Copies of this chain bind each other. A is one copy, B any other.
């Protein structure tokens, strides 16, 4: 066999079919996608214009240093450009961090269950994974702290978490930061930051950057509506950023994404609109789920983990037949759960109507 032994242990990625194919096969005219925690709104006019302008220069390589985007982020977050990294999605920064810092056999602490990429990246890197179980669908800081040994090289914290949608507060994060050894990297994945930042007690992890063992990453895929373009960013010490740069491809971030991201950062009205849509949609879904007696996990994000009280694969299939795609949670060992992205007003209504019919059958 040609491959490295450990590679064969990784669960192969089986790509889903594109929506157009699903439609064709099921004979559906319209499909509502509430499966991937995307923004229900297309990008703003300003962002579309910037992206389209960039398309005209597609014959040229992108700026490998993401000079102007870093400049804009630097200004907004008061962090020097040398302490910023841009990734082909923030997923890529997770993978780069494992590549740069986790040697074979070194330990990494990951919650169980959480965002899957931490585990996949660590398996590829042949790190030893120690799993910290969730407690009531929340990261359990005590469980994490108990797992720290002198071999712990990295700890992944999704805050807010995906798929649970819950978050850790200021004091929990403070406790973790104080308990972690200085040579253990604390990786805060804040992909859903914009939705959570005004929650009571949501921590400001940027204030820990000075400790030099902290990485904070965020994305343009969710609140900024750029999932299709692949772009995310991270902050850390200059030293850590330099190490991440050594293991990344020189032209990892395409030029259309760079231009769109700069325009997106500057469009506060669009961000406000998105946050309002999610807030109102969440209130609507909470109310309807509550009145139907359906349990859910209160969320700090743009999605909700819902306990449908029966096999989620069945519910998934029945929703799909009605043209609604959600995420069924059996790969996360949550067999009675679906994860539903908050959609437009109309999409939320269609979803609730369908779910009601399915569960009352």
Within 8 A of B (CB), among A185-223: 185, 213, 221
Counting CB contacts under 8 A, is A91 at the interface? yes
Residues of B within 8 A of A311 (CB): none
* Nearest chain B residue, comparing its CB with the CB of A35: B61
Known: A12-B242, A92-B249. A102 touches B58 (CB 8 A): no
Given A89-B249, A101-B3, A246-B13, check contact A51 B55 (CB 8 Å).
Answer: yes
> How far does the alpha carbon of A196 sit from the alpha carbon of B40 in the complex, in Å?
46
Within the complex, which residue of B15, B59, B242, B251 is in contact with A63, where a contact is CB–CB below 8 Å?
B15
Q: Does A229 contact B (CB under 8 A)?
A: yes
Measured between beta carbons, the chain B residues less than 8 angstroms from A67 are 15, 17-18, 21
* A243 engages B57 (CB within 8 Å): no
A312 CB, nearest partner CB in chain B, Å: 21
- Return chain B residues, CB-CB under 8 Å to A13: 64, 245-246, 248, 250
CA distance in complex: A14, B58 (Å): 22
Within 8 A of B (CB), among A8-49: 8, 10-13, 15-18, 21, 33, 36, 38-43, 47-48
Residues in B with CB closer than 8 Å to A62 are 227-228, 230
- Number of identical monomers bound together in the oligomeric complex: 2
Q: Is A256 an interface residue (CB 8 A)?
A: yes
CB distance B254 to A230 under 8 Å? Answer: yes
Partner of A18, one of B55, B68, B183: B68
- Residue A73 interfacial (CB < 8 Å): no
Q: Assess the A246–B63 pair: CB atoms within 8 A.
A: no
Out of B2, B60, B66, name the residue touching A240 (CB < 8 Å). Answer: B2
**Chain B residue with Cβ nearest A91:** B249
Contact partner of A39 among B17, B59, B103, CB < 8 A? B59
A55, B59: Cβ atoms closer than 8 Å: no
Q: Is A78 among interface residues, defined by CB-CB distance under 8 A?
A: no
CB pair B42–A225 under 8 Å, yes or no, is no
Report yes or no: A65 in contact with B102, Cβ–Cβ below 8 A.
no
Check: A54 CB closer than 8 A to any chain B CB.
yes
Known: A7-B243, A15-B63, A55-B256. 10 other contacts (CB 8 A): A2-B243, A7-B100, A8-B246, A12-B245, A18-B67, A51-B58, A51-B256, A58-B229, A59-B227, A95-B249
Closest 4 CB pairs of A and B: A15-B65, A228-B255, A59-B225, A58-B228
Cross-chain pairs A/B with CB under 8 angstroms, 15 sampled: A4-B102, A5-B103, A12-B242, A15-B65, A41-B59, A58-B226, A58-B227, A58-B228, A59-B228, A61-B228, A92-B249, A228-B256, A230-B252, A254-B254, A254-B257
